[in-house]
Structure 1
Amino acid sequence: MSNRSLTVLGTLLAIVAVLYACQGEEAIRKAQYYTNGQKLYAQRCQNCHGSNGEGLGQLYPPLSDTIYLAGNLNKVACMIKFGSNETIEVLGKIYDSEMPPNKDLTDQDIAYIMTYIGNSFGNELGWIKTEEVTNSLAACNKGD
């Protein structure tokens, strides 16, 4: 093998190693957020949305609609923090019960919960970063 071939091969191996390390870091962070989110979900969300995200009859929606969640991540962050009294449609059903606010949750807590919900109940949305939640909440235009 020529020196140039070895250099190219070495560069490619270095790139693969960096990509693998980044994916490893992301998987670790996702697992951390998921685990912390599971605990917070049990404390804050499970009473209304169920231990399996099944919801509560016609009162509270299930959390298994990946399409709704993926299309409304910003809105979900706002709902968790500030509550909601608007009508939503989830899995073809209308829900209009009020969701209470959780103003004492930090952006980090909400990212934990969203990562848990986003990767449970048949959802696979990946790691929801704290920065994403912070940006979503800033866009809510809600007062304290």
Structure 2
Amino acid sequence: MIKKALFFITAFAAFSCQSAEELKSEQYFAEGYQLYTTNCANCHQADGKGMANLYPPLVGSKMIQDKIAMSCVIKNGMKDTIIVNGKAFSRPMPANAALKELEIAEIITYVNMKWGKDSVYTPTETVIKALESCRKH
């Protein structure tokens, strides 16, 4: 009984020492993983390395660092040729119009924390502003 109580006290202490930003980052990462697996991994693969000459990798792609462009592409799709790591990809990416801004932020968080340089979540406000921007163009 004492061991159980110590476990819960230790777990609570570790959990409560995290900042709100750290907790949100973990939440967005976990949710983003699920959304990426459902909506993106078929083409970009679970490891983010893409599929041969068909679908571009996310690993090493400069696009993942551009959250405005990434938001627009996730929501609206893309028909242009894109160069990733020196290789051209021209297969269209379908729109994910049903994804909400929060879900897009979670996907971007997952991708950038997994294969980019981010260590914190992408706020939903960033995606909302990005989507307003791409609607204008």
TM-score, length-scaled by structure 1: 0.77
Aligned residue identity for 2:37: A
Unaligned runs of 5+ in 1: 1-20
Take 2:62 and 2:73, find their aligned partners in 1: how far apart are those partners? 17
Larger Rg: 1 or 2? Answer: 1
| Paired residue secondary structure (1:89) | strand
Query: 1:32 and 2:41 equivalent?
Result: no
Matching residue within 91, 99, 104 for 2:98: 104
How many residues align structurally?
Answer: 120
Take 2:92 and 2:111, find their aligned partners in 1: how far apart are those partners? 19
Unaligned runs of 5+ in 2: 1-16
Q: Which contiguous aligned blocks of 4+ residues in structure 1 show a shift greater than 4 angstroms?
A: none
Q: For residues 29-57 of structure 1, give each alpha carbon's deviation from its aligned partner in whole angstroms, at most 9, with x where no partner exists.
A: 11100000000111100100001001011
Q: Which residue of 1 aligns with 2:117?
A: 124
Q: CA RMSD in A?
A: 1.8
**How far did 1:142 drift?**
6.7
Q: Which residue of 1 aligns with 2:6?
A: none
Aligned residue identity for 2:98: D
Q: Is the 8 Å Cα contact of residues 82 and 142 (structure 1) preserved in structure 2?
A: no
